[in-house]
Amino acid sequence: MFAALGRFVSRRAWFVIAAWLLLAGLVIAFAPALQTTSDESDFLPDHYESIRAAKIQDDKFPGATTPGAILVFERKDRGELTADDQAAVAKVAQELGPKLNEKTFVQQVATTDPEGNPNVSQDGLVQIGIIGLADNATGFDDQAIEDGKDLRKELEPLMEGSDLEVLTTGSVPQSLDSQEEGDRTLAIVAIATVVLIVVLLAVIFRSVVICLMPILVVTLASSVATGLIGWANEAFGLKADSSIQTILVVVLYGIGTDYILFFLFRYRERRRQGEETRPSVVHALERAGEAIASAGGAVIVAFLALLLSSLSLFRAIGPALAIAVAVTLLAALTLVPAVVTVLGRALFWPSRKWRHEPEGARFGRVGAALGRRPGRFALASGAVMVALAAFALSFNPSFDFNSSLPKDVESTQGLEVFQKHFAAGASEPVPVVLVSDDGPLDESALETYRSDLEAAQGVTQVYPAEVSKDGTAAQFSVVLDHDPASDAALNDVKGPVRDTAHDSAPDGTEAYVGGTPSVFADLQKAMARDYSVVFPVAALIIMLILGLLLRSLVAPWYLMAAVGLGFAATLGATVVMFQHVLGHEGLIFMLPIYIYLFVTALGTDYNILMIARLREEAREGKDPHTAAAEAVKHAGPTIAAAGVILAGTFASLMLGGNTLIVSMGFALSFGIFVAAFVMAMFFTPALTALIGHTAWWPGHGDEQAPHALADVPGDHHRDTP
């Protein structure tokens, strides 16, 4: 099949290139923009308590508002606020209200609490103004972010001539700062990724054309993939997390360059043997095509397994990444061979050494040593991964998204000032909604219920109940001891606050706890469910792909066990670096699923390349130990080059200021390094050598083929996969 594809592409190269350019032009012209969200509640199904509480709020308290922005006022000299200062704050609030966009904000700024007291801290140093969100506004969409920019612009002239300064924080300003930081990170990552790929390809191939070709090819494929993702999200109502665009850049360029490398190594080896361009393209696609398609299929399947997630976050990310990889895979199998055909000899310009086969002494020595003592290599590489994997048990999931923002952005600085002078939970009181099952509430019981809530661990204050118009529901605003977006608040809400709210509810009523920490508590529960479903399904489907590729029921088991060990080692190394060395309290909750999918899927790529080469060597009549040695010698350079490039592209994420992106960059780059240089290079071939002929049962794909598979009789320096 791949030989036929190679013949078609090499004969119709200009047609293939024109088809890709036309497709990209149509997609760019007509595809919708890629929509993302930072609102974690968008990700949860309706049956979770936090979402049910929000729906009851919308139904019973349509006029109630959620804080969208908090204005933190303090004197420039950091002294105590005077009566004139408080009057100036009131004037700013009065003038600012009508200037606010009613699509996002209510057009008034509250400078008093629900009981009518001025929002001045007990030490008299800070006063706050709270701006509520308008009906149906989330505070996380594009409109809110634009209105957040306008809010800051409108405040500047209003503060002139006063002794005060103001900082904006809350959901809208935090979304604004998050987007701006994300845009900055995306630019840094994109530039670093491109520079890294160009430099590494220059070192490997010494060719200007090859340095530029992956960038141009992947950029074209990226425009197609992004448009298709936009259409898919629009068709199915999906919104991915705001980090998806940064991840897409790394995935497209990293994986795309890897697949291009797999093809180019085969193509160059064939050209070195004196073959012309078109036959070399056909041969390279015939030999590398199956491995590329299988590797890409494993990645796509792993991402699509996220459709089984209960969280729309992952149900959106999964298809998005799967589409990106599918487009990149198609480009590697069609567009790249077409471009190589058109370029011909110019592909390697200006290098002249490409015609000479390198000695490969380093990988030859490593392969020979592994072939002699596979047990030692398996034990040593396995021990390294097991030692790191032990630290994965101390992984502490964090749901504090705010902590991922840099310390120097305005919303973070405003939040720090606020929390120094007010109860941390006052920035966003947690709503507890009490609903009657049979008629109006007994208002005499509401004060008792309020006292019970106020006595719960982690609660600072509970404001008097607001009763709905029909009398069947009451809403209590609960001020927590901790920042509502923090892990401490999450633990208080999912434990004592929810327990008290449920257990103390009067007879005939039911209580629901909403707000940010309640959303996080439900996310934690949903993630535990997803880990138990998505991980096993992805592993089983990838094992099926391996079984079909290798015609074996044995090899897929130890290959997936090796990948699982690589996952645990990666998570353990990340825990060591961030929790133990850098002193972070925890790591973002979604990190394990990203590690699992990338390390499992991409780690399988390298396993496929190594095991496919090992099978070729065995089919030539070599014993298991010799076949493993030859596989490392010939496949090692390709896996090393691909691993360095992909690990380097993921490492570029660490240049962003966002803690989430930095930890993800470290984890994924380390995971790819382990997958390439520990698992695929040593652990997999060593285990296969130890298991021997049994590894290929029942298909026995290692049996000597009736016809020699060598490309040139007597030539043992065949193509590298």
Q: Tell which of 480, 514, 548 closes a domain.
A: 514
Give the SS3 label for residue 276.
coil
Q: Tell which of 493, 514, 535 closes a domain.
A: 514
Residues 6 or more apart whose Cβ sits within 8 Å of residue 376? none
- Which range, 272-276, 517-521, 646-650, is most confident? 517-521
Q: 721 versus 378: which is more confidently predicted?
A: 378
Q: How far is CA 103 from CA 151, 330, 393, in A?
A: 13, 43, 46
Q: How far is CA 235 from CA 230, 231, 239, 457, in A?
A: 9, 6, 11, 45
Do 526 and 44 contact (CB within 8 A), yes or no?
Answer: yes
Q: How far is CA 359 from CA 276, 350, 620, 634, 637, in A?
A: 23, 21, 22, 11, 11
Q: How many domains in the chain?
A: 4
Structure tokens at 490: 């999450």
| Structure confidence at residue 403 (pLDDT) | 61
| Structure confidence at residue 432 (pLDDT) | 95
Angstrom distance (rounded) from CA 433 to CA 27:
47
In terms of domains, do 691 and 562 share one?
yes
Q: Is residue 691 situated within a structural domain?
A: yes
Q: How far is CA 528 from CA 497, 524, 685, in A?
A: 21, 6, 34
Q: Is residue 354 situated within a structural domain?
A: no
Please give the model's pTM, rounded to 2 decimal places.
0.75
User: What is the average per-residue pLDDT within 539-547?
Assistant: 84
pLDDT bin (cut points 50, 70, 90) of residue 587 is confident
| Structure confidence at residue 710 (pLDDT) | 40
Phi and psi at residue 52, in whole multiples of 5°?
-65, -40
| Structure confidence at residue 592 (pLDDT) | 87
Distance of CA 600 to the CA centre of its chain: 14
Instruction: Read off the CATH number of the domain in which 448 is found.
Output: 3.30.70.1320
Percent of the chain with pLDDT over 90: 32
Q: Is residue 422 situated within a structural domain?
A: no
Asked whether the predicted pLDDT for residue 115 surpasses 60, the reply is: yes
User: What is the average per-residue pLDDT within 285-294?
Assistant: 83
Angstrom distance (rounded) from CA 482 to CA 585:
15
In terms of domains, do 501 and 600 share one?
no
| Structure confidence at residue 149 (pLDDT) | 93
CB atoms within 10 A of CB 437: 9
Task: For residue 241, give the H/E element and its range.
Answer: strand 240-241
- Quickly tell me which residue has 């699982």 as its tokens: 564
Angstrom distance (rounded) from CA 594 to CA 575:
15
Asked whether the predicted pLDDT for residue 194 surpasses 90, the reply is: no
In terms of domains, do 441 and 390 share one?
no
Closest CA to 153 of 202, 99, 217: 99
Q: Is residue 493 situated within a structural domain?
A: yes
- DSSP line for 418-464: HHHHS-GGGGSPEEEEEEESSSS--THHHHHHHHHHHTSTTEEEEPP
Choice among 120-129, 380-389, 666-675, 708-717 with the minimum mean pLDDT: 708-717
The boundaries of the domain holding residue 292 are: 1-30+207-345
Instruction: Read off the CATH number of the domain in which 694 is found.
Output: 1.20.1640.10
| Structure confidence at residue 712 (pLDDT) | 36
Mean pLDDT of the chain: 84
Q: Is residue 271 situated within a structural domain?
A: yes
In terms of domains, do 5 and 84 share one?
no
In terms of domains, do 649 and 563 share one?
yes
Asked whether the predicted pLDDT for residue 100 surpasses 70, the reply is: yes
Closest CA to 65 of 119, 136, 169: 136
pLDDT bin (cut points 50, 70, 90) of residue 391 is very high
Q: Is residue 594 situated within a structural domain?
A: yes
Choice among 13-22, 201-210, 454-463 with the minimum mean pLDDT: 201-210
In terms of domains, do 552 and 652 share one?
yes
Structure tokens at 346: 């110019």
Distance of CA 321 to the CA centre of its chain: 10
473 beta partners: 435
Q: Is residue 47 situated within a structural domain?
A: no
Instruction: Read off the CATH number of the domain in which 153 is found.
Output: 3.30.70
466 beta partners: 475
Q: How far is CA 101 from CA 7, 91, 139, 143, 146, in A?
A: 60, 19, 12, 9, 10
Q: Is residue 657 situated within a structural domain?
A: yes
Asked whether the predicted pLDDT for residue 203 surpasses 90, the reply is: no
Asked whether the predicted pLDDT for residue 442 surpasses 70, the reply is: yes
Asked whether the predicted pLDDT for residue 281 surpasses 60, the reply is: yes
Asked whether the predicted pLDDT for residue 721 surpasses 50, the reply is: no
For the chain, counts of helices (H) and of strands (E): 23, 13
User: What is the average per-residue pLDDT within 7-29?
Assistant: 92
Angstrom distance (rounded) from CA 519 to CA 42:
10
Do 520 and 483 contact (CB within 8 A), yes or no?
Answer: no
Q: Tell which of 454, 489, 514 closes a domain.
A: 514
pLDDT bin (cut points 50, 70, 90) of residue 479 is very high
In terms of domains, do 159 and 266 share one?
no
Amino acid identity of residue 692, one-letter, is G
Residues belonging to the chain? 721
User: What is the average per-residue pLDDT within 147-176?
Assistant: 91
In terms of domains, do 143 and 73 share one?
yes
In terms of domains, do 692 and 588 share one?
yes
In terms of domains, do 235 and 328 share one?
yes
Angstrom distance (rounded) from CA 487 to CA 219:
39
Asked whether the predicted pLDDT for residue 183 surpasses 80, the reply is: no
Structure tokens at 63: 């006029």
- Which range, 318-327, 437-446, 495-504, is most confident? 495-504
Structure tokens at 635: 């496949």
- Quickly tell me which residue has 């099978």 as its tokens: 615
In terms of domains, do 239 and 313 share one?
yes
Structure tokens at 669: 């780059």
- DSSP line for 605-663: HHHHHHHHHHHHHHHTT--HHHHHHHHHHHHHHHHHHHHHHHHHHHHGGGGSS-HHHHH
In terms of domains, do 650 and 614 share one?
yes
